[in-house]
């Protein structure tokens, strides 16, 4: 049964939470007095639909239903999770919690997106303090996986486990902090870098762009996949962390930073930084900058995913969970229904599959059809074990027709049938669909080879029998339009 999340506060963070829940199959009710809340969340959701599905090579659950409640009480009624993202004022948060608790009675976790308040501050005066806990995400919430989970001292183990379970089911990483502190952990790092950066700008040492360049071309990339301490462990060479500490420890006494001091936050400093920032990034609108950011994040996260490292390992684990709940007709049972085309691919189109025209680039059609061929090979028994034993299929000829546009975030399916099969030969016909619209076809002729001699040989008996079963059963289907068509020939 679809669960419902209540999002209280529909700003940048609240909108990101709404998108993360919606695209993972939750219904979402939003409560926000801002008359522009619906427009703002729609824009965030548009970016999320474009980027989040493409992180996974499995299709996310069907998108949940988004609604805007007339009152806070209406939003939280019957919700399985409440995410509070109201302004950073304790009086506002306390008033919101009192209204939520009057409806939920402490039976539902109330996660706070606060970036600074400790849970003991949040629960002051609460009737059910154990249900209120810090669940601090990072922007954009729909892409970045970290959630700092800081429960109040009154929280039970069952409540903490419930919160962890919800966060993990969204494909996020709950960093459970056992001891509370102002600004938690990650924002304290950001604050330290921010303070130092303010001094560097004020003292004329570096501009805003030069500081950003120092981060994005240097340690920012290392931190993205290895963090701080592991980075320094590697810097210590074969001797490891002790050597690094011995070598660079004395620098801690040198006047390298001004972290204990803050420049006066006056109009002069604000204008200096604002003017430099406008010169650096003013050519782009905020929406354009968000899309540039999302493009880069997806590309980096997918690169980490390919290496099964850091946030990429988290994506792979979540994808296994998503796949486990997805039923494709290409599973083993379909070999008992060989007269039907086999669904060999069902996935979202990631951002890095698109080109300068904004749609899926032509090489990715081949990539998608190649994945479909690989999946069909598995269905007939030409799997990793068979290939390791020395047999496989090599593609000899391919013809792809592009019949419609496919864009980032679109969910595509490929249905595969056998036009000819047996002995050394396998002739496949792939049809790519966007919904019920045919957007591309791929015709592929393959030869079975010995990986020892690299020459064509008959397929193994079991693979050959399975392939012939499909070929014979599908022989009575109408020949697909376009099969055998020469390039440039009229449709």
- Residue 308 CB partners (closer than 8 Å, separation 6+): 316
Task: Tell me if the pTM is above 0.95.
Answer: no
Q: Give me the pLDDT at residue 329, please.
A: 38
**Residue keyed to tokens 């629960």:** 123
Q: Is 240 annotated as a binding residue?
A: no
Give the CA radius of gyration of the chain: 27
Does residue 331 surpass a pLDDT of 80?
Answer: no
Q: Give me the pLDDT at residue 333, please.
A: 43
pLDDT in tens, 18-62: 999 999 999 999 999 999 999 999 999 999 999 998 888 888 899
Q: Is 11 annotated as a binding residue?
A: yes
pLDDT in tens, 149-197: 999 999 999 999 999 999 999 999 999 999 999 999 999 999 999 999 9
Residue 491's pLDDT band, with cuts at 50, 70 and 90, is low
- Residue 475 CB partners (closer than 8 Å, separation 6+): none
What are the tokens at 317? 């684990």
- Is residue 130 within 8 A of residue 103, CB to CB? The reply is no
| Residue 346: φ, ψ to 5° | -150, 105
pLDDT in tens, 347-358: 999 988 999 898
Is cis: bond before 367, omega within 30 of 0?
Answer: no
Please state, in angstroms and rounded to a whole number, the distance separating the CA atoms of residues 243 and 100.
Answer: 53
User: How much is the average pLDDT of 284-313?
Assistant: 89
- In percent, how much of the chain has pLDDT > 90? 70
Please state, in angstroms and rounded to a whole number, the distance separating the CA atoms of residues 305 and 298.
Answer: 10
Please state, in angstroms and rounded to a whole number, the distance separating the CA atoms of residues 365 and 441.
Answer: 9
Residue 325's pLDDT band, with cuts at 50, 70 and 90, is low
User: How much is the average pLDDT of 217-228?
Assistant: 86
**H-assigned helices in 105-219:** 119-122, 157-169, 186-202, 208-214
Please report the domains of the chain, with CATH numbers, ordered by start residue: 4-184 (3.40.50.720), 187-283 (1.10.1040.10), 332-474 (3.10.129.10)
**Residue keyed to tokens 């490891």:** 240
Comparing CA positions, the residue from 139, 1, 51 lying closest to residue 23 is 51
Least confident of 6-20, 249-263, 437-451: 249-263
C-alpha pair distances (Å), 419 with each of 75, 129, 393, 425, 480: 54, 65, 16, 10, 9
């Amino acid at each position: 049964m679809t669960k419902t999340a209540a999002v209280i506060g529909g700003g940048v963070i609240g909108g990101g939470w709404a998108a993360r829940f919606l695209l993972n199959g939750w219904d979402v009710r939003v409560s926000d007095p801002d008359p522009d809340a619906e427009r703002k969340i729609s824009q965030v959701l548009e970016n999320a639909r474009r980027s989040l599905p493409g992180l996974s090579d499995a299709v996310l659950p069907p998108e949940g239903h988004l609604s805007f409640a007339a009152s806070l009480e209406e939003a939280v009624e019957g919700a399985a999770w409440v995410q509070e993202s109201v302004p950073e004022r304790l009086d506002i948060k306390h008033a919101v919690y009192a209204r939520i608790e009057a409806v939920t009675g402490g039976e539902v976790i109330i996660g706070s997106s606060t970036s600074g308040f400790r849970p003991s501050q949040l629960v002051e005066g609460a009737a059910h303090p154990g249900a209120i806990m810090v669940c601090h995400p990072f922007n954009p919430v729909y892409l970045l996986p970290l959630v700092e989970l800081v429960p109040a001292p009154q929280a039970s183990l069952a409540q903490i486990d419930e919160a962890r379970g919800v966060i993990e089911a969204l494909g996020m990483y709950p960093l459970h902090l056992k001891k509370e502190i102002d600004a938690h952990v990650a924002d304290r790092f950001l604050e330290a870098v921010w303070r130092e950066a303010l001094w560097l700008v004020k003292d004329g040492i570096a501009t805003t762009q030069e500081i950003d360049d120092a981060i994005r071309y240097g340690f920012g990339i290392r931190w993205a996949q290895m963090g701080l301490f592991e980075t320094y462990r590697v810097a210590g060479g074969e001797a490891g962390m002790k050597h690094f500490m011995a070598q660079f420890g004395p620098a801690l006494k040198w006047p390298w930073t001004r972290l204990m001091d803050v420049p006066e936050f006056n109009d002069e400093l604000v204008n200096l930084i604002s003017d430099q920032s406008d010169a650096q990034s003013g050519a782009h609108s905020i929406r354009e900058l968000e899309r540039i950011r999302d493009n880069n994040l997806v590309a980096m996260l997918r690169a980490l995913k390919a290496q099964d490292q850091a946030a990429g390992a988290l994506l792979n684990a979540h994808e296994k969970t998503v796949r486990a709940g997805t039923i494709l007709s290409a599973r083993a049972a379909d070999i008992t229904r060989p007269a039907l085309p086999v669904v060999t691919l069902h996935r979202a189109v990631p951002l890095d599959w698109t080109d300068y025209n904004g749609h899926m680039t032509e090489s990715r059609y081949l990539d998608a059809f190649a994945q479909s061929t690989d999946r069909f090979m598995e269905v007939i028994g030409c799997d990793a074990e068979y290939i390791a034993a020395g047999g496989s299929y090599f593609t000899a000829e391919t013809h792809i027709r592009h019949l419609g546009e496919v864009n980032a975030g679109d969910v595509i399916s490929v249905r595969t049938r056998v036009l000819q099969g047996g002995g050394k030969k396998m002739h496949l016909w792939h049809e790519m669909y966007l919904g019920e619209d045919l957007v591309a076809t791929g015709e592929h002729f393959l030869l079975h080879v010995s990986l020892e001699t690299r020459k064509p040989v008959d397929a193994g008996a079991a693979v050959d029998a399975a392939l012939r079963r499909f070929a014979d059963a599908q022989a009575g289907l109408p020949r697909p339009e376009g099969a055998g068509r020469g390039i440039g020939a009229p449709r």
